[in-house]
Chains A and B, each alone.
Chain A
Amino acid sequence: MNDFTTWDVFRNLLAAVPWTIYLSLIAFAGGAVVSLLLLSLRFAFPRVAGTPVRLYVQLFQGTPLLMQLFLVYFGLALMGVQTTPLFAASLCLSVYSSAYLTETWYGCVLAVPKGQWEASSSLGLKHWQQMLLIVLPQALRLSVPPTVGLMVQIVKNTSLASIVGFVELTRASQIIANATFEPFLAYGAVAFIYFVICFSISLCGRHLEKRIRI
């Protein structure tokens, strides 16, 4: 049954690439929405929302994504709530990336020099105007390199979705390795594909950084 050529291996792996990309996009978009919400709360009501947001971030940064996946997929099933692998993976990856994005973007806002706040205060701008016109545009520029780094992490972390049976790149490579008895080829190929995706993201990021340099 040695009918699998190297091309067959790649072809089957490439068929799973879209799922890895979809999952990454869902995780990033979901994470971004949640963290923007959390950041708005944190900046608008620093006293009330500061601690809960910090706790949220600490909780999800401080526990392995794998455990979160187990808890959501198998844990919920035990409680009688049936979820799909896609739902469980999307939820966990979104929450996970939202924790990191919140912390990163919060840092970017704080990294805008104090003098920028003072200068815009002295001109009589209101707090929301300072935030919108002066601080956020500069924080956005500062946030590009760490955000690109996080996107790369998210892509690699989608591989954990294979554990709950979601067929993305890693799961596909396991299946192919089992069928071909050529684990080195299958896993080597999949590592290479991950690298190509992540490297492309980094390149785009670097390009973006150059374009918006102040």
Chain B
Amino acid sequence: MSNLAPSAALAPALPVSASSGAAIELVGVNKWYGEFHVLKDINLRVHRGERIVICGPSGSGKSTMIRCINRLEEHQQGSIIVDGIELTNDLKRIDEIRREVGMCFQHFNLFPHLTILENLTLAPIWVRKMPKKDADELAMHFLRKVKIPEQANKYPGQLSGGQQQRVAIARALCMKPKIMLFDEPTSALDPEMVKEVLETMVSLAEEGMTMLCVTHEMGFARQVANRVIFMDAGQIIEMNEPEAFFSNPQHERTKLFLSQILGH
């Protein structure tokens, strides 16, 4: 697959059946913060089961882009279609999409006044209307999956950063999302805790979850990404399969960026 110009049609070289369609589709998306043009004509088609890593310098709009996908940010132009539903101001649709899209944040954003178990069961109980007992079971299932079932009755403040981020992943998974968004999930972690979080994400990728991940963990990108996107100044500058992206970047800005983050 060759490198792509910013707003070209983006057909991935992926074995995706035609019937499955796109999980996420962004067409001509523009966003401004007042005068500041933060997203410039973004076109992106994410297929079901696809894993995309987004990198780029800070302020390039990568976080803003994925935050638009579950409407934490509003876009002003273009259309965003998630799981067949177009994002508009219709609150019902926004809720519908948010139920299907899980998100992990740089600073975890666990609810400090609730135990780990309560953090996990809150949305299944209140949003999915699940009986508490079932929600507890579901939560324990995912806590085992992220390998911290023994922390269920502690509070977030009593856990390490890596553990908190794994709880945050489990919390999102409890909603059984079809798509997971990660916004720099390891950037706030001590180096020795990055690995445990990445391992959790890798195992999620192996199960076929559709993932969009803003990260500078290039090892992770190599290992799990189907495509790597490089953004700068609100634009998608380059998009390619990881091998080609890292070994043969096309754009000067991509080369510069890669040399800076891989250089040391």
Q: How far is the CA of A126 from the CA of B98 in the complex (A)?
A: 11
B204 to chain A, nearest CB (A): 16
Q: How far is the CA of A8 from the CA of B155 in the complex (A)?
A: 54
- B 45-88 to A, binary, CB cutoff 8 A, 1 in contact else 0: 00000000000000000000000001110000000000000000
Is B111 an interface residue, CB under 8 A from the partner?
Answer: yes
Is A204 an interface residue, CB under 8 A from the partner?
Answer: no
Q: Which of A115, A126, A133, A214 contacts B122, CB < 8 Å?
A: A133
Is A122 an interface residue, CB under 8 A from the partner?
Answer: yes
A129 touches B109 (CB 8 A): no
Binds B, one of A53-61, A80-88, A134-142: A134-142
A214 touches B112 (CB 8 A): yes
Is B105 an interface residue, CB under 8 A from the partner?
Answer: yes
Q: Please, which residue of chain B has its CB at the minimum distance from the CB of A138?
A: B113
Given A133-B122, A214-B155, also A122-B111 (CB < 8 A): no
Q: How far is the CA of A120 from the CA of B105 in the complex (A)?
A: 12
> For chain A residues 83-118, which have a beta carbon within 8 Å of chain B?
113, 115-116, 118
Given A124-B95, A125-B127, also A214-B157 (CB < 8 A): yes
A22 to chain B, nearest CB (A): 34
> For chain A residues 9-44, which have a beta carbon within 8 Å of chain B?
none
A122 touches B157 (CB 8 A): no
B63 to chain A, nearest CB (A): 11
B123 touches A123 (CB 8 A): yes
> For chain A residues 124-153, which have a beta carbon within 8 Å of chain B?
124-126, 129, 133-134, 137-138, 141
Q: Which of A120, A122, A126, A214 contacts B113, CB < 8 Å?
A: A214
Q: Please, which residue of chain B has its CB at the minimum distance from the CB of A129?
A: B126
A116 touches B109 (CB 8 A): yes
Q: How far is the CA of A141 from the CA of B109 in the complex (A)?
A: 17
Is A77 an interface residue, CB under 8 A from the partner?
Answer: no
> For chain B residues 228-244, which have a beta carbon within 8 Å of chain A?
none
- Residues of B close to A119: CB separation below 8 A: 103, 105, 109-111, 168
Most buried by A among B71, B122, B171: B122
Given A121-B72, A133-B122, A214-B157, also A126-B109 (CB < 8 A): no
Is B102 an interface residue, CB under 8 A from the partner?
Answer: yes
- Residues of B close to A214: CB separation below 8 A: 112-113, 155, 157
- Residues of A close to B175: CB separation below 8 A: 123-124
A122 touches B126 (CB 8 A): no
B interface, size bucket: 20 to 34
Q: How many residues of A contact B (CB 8 A)?
A: 19
B112 touches A122 (CB 8 A): no
Interface residues of A: mostly helix, strand, loop or mixed? helix
B109 touches A118 (CB 8 A): yes
B103 touches A122 (CB 8 A): yes
- Residues of A close to B95: CB separation below 8 A: 124, 126
- Residues of B close to A115: CB separation below 8 A: 105, 107, 109
Q: How far is the CA of A134 from the CA of B95 in the complex (A)?
A: 17
Q: Which of A116, A118, A125, A137 contacts B123, CB < 8 Å?
A: A125
Q: How far is the CA of A122 from the CA of B113 in the complex (A)?
A: 18
Q: Which of A116, A123, A126, A133 contacts B172, CB < 8 Å?
A: A123
Given A115-B105, A123-B171, A124-B95, also A137-B113 (CB < 8 A): yes
- Residues of A close to B70: CB separation below 8 A: 121-122
Is B216 an interface residue, CB under 8 A from the partner?
Answer: no
A116 touches B111 (CB 8 A): yes
- Residues of A close to B98: CB separation below 8 A: 121-124
Q: How far is the CA of A50 from the CA of B147 in the complex (A)?
A: 47
Q: Please, which residue of chain B has its CB at the minimum distance from the CB of A132?
A: B126
Given A118-B72, A214-B157, also A124-B109 (CB < 8 A): no
A122 touches B155 (CB 8 A): no
Q: How far is the CA of A95 from the CA of B196 in the complex (A)?
A: 55
**What are 8 of the A-B contact pairs (CB < 8 Å)?**
A118-B105, A120-B111, A122-B102, A122-B172, A124-B175, A129-B127, A141-B113, A214-B157
